[in-house]
Structure 1
Amino acid sequence: MTWTELVMSAAPGRGDRPAVTDVRTGEVLTYATFVKRVTHVAGGLRRRGLRYGERVLVDLPPGAAMACAVHAVAWAGGVVVMGGRAATRLAILQRGRDMEAQEVITYEPTPGFTRFIDLFGDHTVEFGPLAGPALTLDGDRVLTHEELAGDLRRVAGRMVIGKDDVVLLAVTDRFKALRAMDMALTSGAHVIVAHDPTLIGCRVLAGEHNATLVVAPYDLARRLLGDPLLRVIDERAFVSSLAL
């Protein structure tokens, strides 16, 4: 089972239950919608000529859009680039800006740029790659589907996240946020993505959404410890075994 296939594996049993709630945009993405977006956007990328192993820059803040874009690229057979201003033919950004990419796709409608929503269409990619390269942070080391899926399984073995958990994601590092979302989605949990999280903000959001678990940077996680209603996990736990 590949990385994206593993992340989507809980969807058939979760259906219309919430997968990701994005506090910044107010968007609530269900499991069924998550899979639909990943497979449809993958089809849109293929229509734009994405080739197996081709690199695509994804520069989006942690949230529902980032999860969909990253996994759509991987499902289409591309390699996600999450670091720097890499020179790629395709780039998916929050809003348009001058890039070396031949085609820039923006999540926020921006004059002169392809809209992310325009990738949706009748064509879907029903089956992703069986294996192979999937993601790079620095353009040098490429993580494969096998590495990313295997690491998720190792993480699942040492921290229990269940389908009834509501996970408050208070993480600004995009890759760590992605890995925490991956783990929660694999488990069938509901992820609440906080933006510019603070101690008070986390406590307010945890109360509003009945969160059972918080993932946060070390300093914030340490200050949240002691709440009898919340489990707290340091964000580093989700990438520690990848030797990054």
Structure 2
Amino acid sequence: MTWTELVTASAPTKGDEPAVSDVRTGEVLSYAAFVRRVTRAAAGLRRHGLQYGDQVLVDVPLGASLPVAVHSVAWAGGIAVLGSTGKARMMITHGHPGTAAADVQQVFSFHPAPGARPFGELLGAGTVEFGPLAGPAVTLDGVRLFDHIELAGDLRRLAARLVIGKEDVVINAVSEPFRGLRVIDLAMMAGAHVVIAHEPSVIGCRVLAQERRATMVVAPYDLAKRLLGDPILRVVDERAVVSSLGL
């Protein structure tokens, strides 16, 4: 089972139940919608010329759009480069692509931006039914590559340690995109609902946990330390989700 297949394994039973909620934008992405967008966007990327092993810059902040962008690239057989610089044929961005787009052939944006095509243009009728079984999928710096087998195996090991259940609501209080993406992957793999908070305070995190009936929070060390002792929340230091990858 590939990395993206592992993340979407709960989709057939979860359907229209929420997978990812973004506190900042109010967007709620269901499991069914996530799979639909990823498989269609992957087909759109291939339709626009993406070939196996091509690098795609993904300059998207942590939110509901980030996992869609990254897994679309990976499912299409490309390599998602998390950042706004580097050599790539294509770029997926949140808004204005900036100067990095000068070296990119095609830019797709989630929000209207000069010189960029709408990301929705990728969501045609076709889908990619089967993604790559192996090969590189993500890089943070264009040098070290994480492949499907490595990412999937690491997710399984993390899931055994952190034990997230399908009824859990996980607050993702992580600020760094890749760490935040790993939290989303873990939660979706388990069939849980992950709520993305953006740089919350201790009080903000507790209020959000109460509002969303959260059972778990993944946060930076300083915030996690101050949240310890909560009788309801399980608290996880964000470093735990990437330490096994040597990050």
TM-score by length of 2: 0.96
Aligned equivalent of 1:65: 65
- Extract unaligned runs of 5+ from structure 1: none
- Bigger mean CA offset, 91-100 vs 140-149: 91-100
Other structure's SS at 2:167 match: coil
Aligned equivalent of 1:219: 222
How far residue 84 of structure 1 moved from its aligned partner, in angstroms, is 5.1
CA contact (8 A) 2:172 2:219 kept: yes
CA distance in 2, matches of 1:191, 1:201: 16
TM-score by length of 1: 0.97
Other structure's SS at 1:80 match: strand
How far residue 108 of structure 1 moved from its aligned partner, in angstroms, is 1.2
Q: Which amino acid aligns with 2:164?
A: I
Other structure's SS at 1:98 match: helix
Aligned equivalent of 1:116: 119
Aligned equivalent of 1:235: 238
Q: Which amino acid aligns with 2:38?
A: V
Aligned equivalent of 2:95: 95
CA distance in 2, matches of 1:48, 1:114: 11
CA contact (8 A) 1:62 1:178 kept: yes
How far residue 112 of structure 1 moved from its aligned partner, in angstroms, is 2.8
- Whether 1:133 aligns to 2:143 is no
Q: Which amino acid aligns with 1:169?
A: N
Aligned equivalent of 2:167: 164
How far residue 111 of structure 1 moved from its aligned partner, in angstroms, is 3.1
% of aligned pairs identical? 61
CA contact (8 A) 2:58 2:84 kept: no
CA distance in 2, matches of 1:105, 1:12: 29
How far residue 6 of structure 1 moved from its aligned partner, in angstroms, is 0.5
CA distance in 2, matches of 1:112, 1:62: 23
Aligned equivalent of 1:80: 80
CA distance in 2, matches of 1:234, 1:181: 15
CA contact (8 A) 1:171 1:197 kept: no
- Extract unaligned runs of 5+ from structure 2: none
- Runs of 4+ displaced beyond 3 Å: none
From 173, 176, 192, give the equivalent of 1:173: 176
Q: Which amino acid aligns with 1:219?
A: D
Aligned equivalent of 2:204: 201
Other structure's SS at 2:99 match: coil
CA distance in 2, matches of 1:198, 1:123: 43
CA contact (8 A) 2:86 2:142 kept: yes
Q: Which amino acid aligns with 1:10?
A: S
How far residue 206 of structure 1 moved from its aligned partner, in angstroms, is 0.9
